[in-house]
Amino acid sequence: MTDNKISPVTVTLQSGPTGGGSIDDLELFYSRRALDRFRKRLGRQGLLDLLAADIEEGNAFLRDSALASAGAFDAGTTVLATKGLTSADFLSWMEKAFAGDESALLAAHPEHYVMAPGADGAFNVVENIGPHVCSFFMGGWGTDAMAWAADAEELLPEAEFPHKMSSNLFLADGTIVGRALTQFGDTADGFTASLTVYVPTTCPPDVLEHHLRHYAVEFRNWILVAAATRA
Phi, psi of 123 (to 5 degrees): -115, 125
Ranges of each domain in the chain:
23-142+151-229
How far, in Å, CA of 192 to CA of 124, rounded? 26
Burial of 40 (0-12, 13-18, 19+ CB in 10 A): exposed
The verdict on pTM exceeding 0.95 is no
Mean pLDDT of 19-39: 94
How far, in Å, CA of 63 to CA of 66, rounded? 5
Q: What is the pLDDT of residues 72-88, one digit of tens each?
A: 999 999 999 999 999 99
Q: What is the pLDDT of residues 157-175, one digit of tens each?
A: 999 999 999 999 999 999 9
Architecture of domain 23-142+151-229: 2-Layer Sandwich (3.30)
Q: What is the pLDDT of residue 176?
A: 95
Mean pLDDT of 40-52: 97
C-beta of residue 216 within 8 angstroms of C-beta of residue 167: no
**β pairing state of 163-170 and 132-139:** antiparallel
